[in-house]
Every structure is written in structure tokens, then in C-alpha cells.
A and B are shown apart, each in its own frame.
Chain A
Amino acid sequence: MSGLYVIVAGAGKVGWNLTRELINKGHEVTVIDSDRRRYLSVEQELEHSVQYGDATELWVLERAGIQRADLVVAVTGDDEDNLLICQVAKEKYLCERIIARVNNPRNLVHFELLGIEPVVSATDLILRLIEHEVPRYGMIHLLDLPQERLEIIEMIVSEGAPAAGRRVADVTLPDGALVISLLRDGRGYVPKGDTVVKAGDEVLVVLDPGLEEDITRWFVKTDGLPVSGHDVARG
């Protein structure tokens, strides 16, 4: 991937650093900012690679050469601006690749609605890291495919959990969930129906989003009993 022409909208911390890195990798970049003072400081370093103007104005994008851009990256601090820049780049100027920054994760729905993807949200990335480091219910998200509506989670079977000591076939997970792997003593197994789950095993479960709680109830000891299915004897 060399020799792309990239337009970056917004020369804030993200836009400025991104532009520098892209230039260092040999790409041609124009970064646009509508704040005059910001423009002047960035211009000291990046010179002709920065342009002054409102990147949501079509003539500004055209002046920056959007017609020949291979990639448009919208990283201003305003989600509506990023949305609009990407929408115009994609639908008016038929730019093949766009990347949008989402400042407020609650605005993600609007990006989805208008078909703007991929999006990058720093808040979401950090949240995800926190979930990895501090797993809720002792559960870690290994893979999220929101488009495909599929997730893979990992849990360690706790002592006294309903599933501990049961055959996989008897762990009646809700529809849309399946145990795909057991890790025991550093080895992974693909379980069969008669494989017995033990406390301390790491289990990988593939599931439809939203089923996490029903599933963790089986593998992580809680005060309540699993709600799905028949009687679960303890102890």
C-alpha cells in the first residue's frame, strides 16, 4: 500500500500526527483545518501539506483535490462534520475508502444509519481494553463481529459453577450458543457431548450477541441458578 493520496480533515492531535506518519510512510497527504491559528502552527511543520478551510465545504474539498483522493479520513472533533465529510466523499466524489472518527460513541448509530464505515472511536477502544483487563463476570470478549452478529467469549469455569462436573451435552445453553473449545492444562480440546467440564477449565463459547448473561451463569458461580432449561442440582 504505497503512494496513496490521502485527505485528512481536521488537524487536531489526531489529524496532525496521522498526517506526519502518513507522509513518513511515503504517502501524499493534505490535511485541512478551519482554525486559522491551528493552521498556522501546523503549517510551520507540514508546509504545503496543510490547507486552511472548512472541510465540510465542497469547494475546500475540491481545492484539496478530493477527486483524485484514494482515502479520506475525517478526524475533526465534531461528529456531524466527520459524518458529512465522509458522506460527501463517498457519495458525491465516489472516493473508494473513507475512515471516520466518532467522538461520542452514542453517535455511532448515525454513522451506521448513513452507511459510513469504518469508524474509529477512541472511547470504545479504551472501553474494550478495560473489558479485556477487568472482565465482567470473569468473561472476556475474544471476538466481536457486530455485522455478522457473532461473538466469541472466554471464561474460566469456577468452582461450584453449574457446569462444573457436567457433560457438555448436559449444559443446556440457550439457542444460538455453542461451546467450541475447552482449554485444560495448557491444551485445547474440541469437546464432544460426553466431555466433562471441570472447574478451572477455560471454555470458549460462540454466541449471538446478548446471550452473555445466560451463558456466564453456567460457567461462573453466582448466587442464582441458570434460568435456561431444567433443574440444575448443585454440590
Chain B
Amino acid sequence: MFVLIVGSGRVGSSVATTALRAGHIASVLDQDPLSHERLDVELGRSWEESGGRFTIGTALEMDALMEAGIAEADVFIACTRGDNTNLVVSQVAQRRFGVPKVIARVLDPRRAAWYAEQGVHTICGTAIAIQQLEEAAFGST
């Protein structure tokens, strides 16, 4: 599969290296050239040497998205630090490019819930943390 990951932070870089190790084509888009280092560290050698693709650019730039391969992507993952960026760019992936599987990381639980109702597949780390904390603190088992 062709996996395009926008945002190479802790989450994005980790998912990207997992995708690459699993034998998928992995392409990463991030505006910060230094975010590349995180990918190298995860793999123990350079990202490109390992067969990964890396494009420098912002998530909303059409040219950068095209260069990163959005038109061929089977899976699109938006995990920049900006909830709104993730929500907008995943809708672009879904509606303009028809990417079959689109996932957006959204930190705000309410925004994540509402957009999920609108058909955007959202993953909310905050909601998961809240749930686990509550279970750990007040859970019966």
C-alpha cells in the first residue's frame, strides 16, 4: 500500500516507520526539514536509505501534497500538531483526491466527535487518555 503521512512529529514518524517496516510505500510530508531526523532515529539509518519518501512543505500546499504522492495514496494520515490543519487536509484527501482510507488525528475531543459524525475518520488521543485515566483512577477492576 501507499501510505502518505502528513506531519512528522512523535506520532507521524512512528506510524511512518511502522508502515515502512511492514513493507508499504511510505511518504512523509512536513514543513520542517529537521523533522527528518526523527525518522532516521526511529530506523537507525537514514529514512531514504530505508526506502522512505520525504517532502518538505505545508499540509495545505497543493504542490507539496502532489509531490508527496497524494494522488496515488491508498492511506492518508493527517497528524500535524494543528487539529484544524488535520481536519481540512483530510477532507481535501477524501473529497478532492478520493483517497480510500483517510485518518485525522484531532486532539480536541469535541471537534473529533463532530467531524467523525460528518464522515471524517478521527483519532482523538485526548479522549483515549481521558478514558484510560478515568479507568486507572476510578475503574472497578
Question: Measuring CB to CB, which residues of chain A are less than 8 angstroms from any residue of chain B?
Answer: 56-59, 78-81, 83-84, 88, 91-92, 104, 106-107, 109-110, 113-114
Q: Is B114 a contact of A81 with CB atoms below 8 Å?
A: no
CB-nearest residue of chain B to A84: B84
15 A-B residue pairs with CB within 8 Å: A56-B108, A57-B108, A57-B110, A79-B60, A80-B60, A80-B82, A80-B84, A80-B88, A83-B84, A83-B88, A84-B84, A92-B114, A107-B60, A113-B96, A114-B88
Q: Is A114 a contact of B110 with CB atoms below 8 Å?
A: no
CB-nearest residue of chain B to A104: B60
Q: Which residues of B contact A107 (CB under 8 A)?
A: 60
Q: Which residues of A contact B85 (CB under 8 A)?
A: 80
Interchain nearest-CB distance for A81 vs B (Å): 5
The verdict on B83 contacting chain A, using a C-beta distance below 8 Å, is yes
The verdict on B62 contacting chain A, using a C-beta distance below 8 Å, is yes
Summarize A's interface: helix, strand, loop or mixed: helix
Q: Which residues of B contact A56 (CB under 8 A)?
A: 83-84, 108, 111
The verdict on B118 contacting chain A, using a C-beta distance below 8 Å, is yes
Q: Which residues of B contact A113 (CB under 8 A)?
A: 91-92, 95-96
Q: Is B111 a contact of A58 with CB atoms below 8 Å?
A: yes
The verdict on B61 contacting chain A, using a C-beta distance below 8 Å, is yes
CA distance A138 to B104 in the complex (A): 48
Q: Which residues of B contact A106 (CB under 8 A)?
A: 61-62
CB-nearest residue of chain B to A54: B108
Q: Which residues of B contact A58 (CB under 8 A)?
A: 110-111, 114
Q: Which residues of A contact B87 (CB under 8 A)?
A: 80, 84
Extra contacts, 18 of them, besides A84-B111, A106-B61 (Cβ < 8 A), are A56-B83, A57-B110, A57-B111, A58-B110, A58-B114, A80-B87, A80-B89, A83-B84, A83-B88, A84-B88, A88-B114, A109-B62, A110-B60, A110-B88, A110-B92, A113-B91, A113-B95, A114-B91
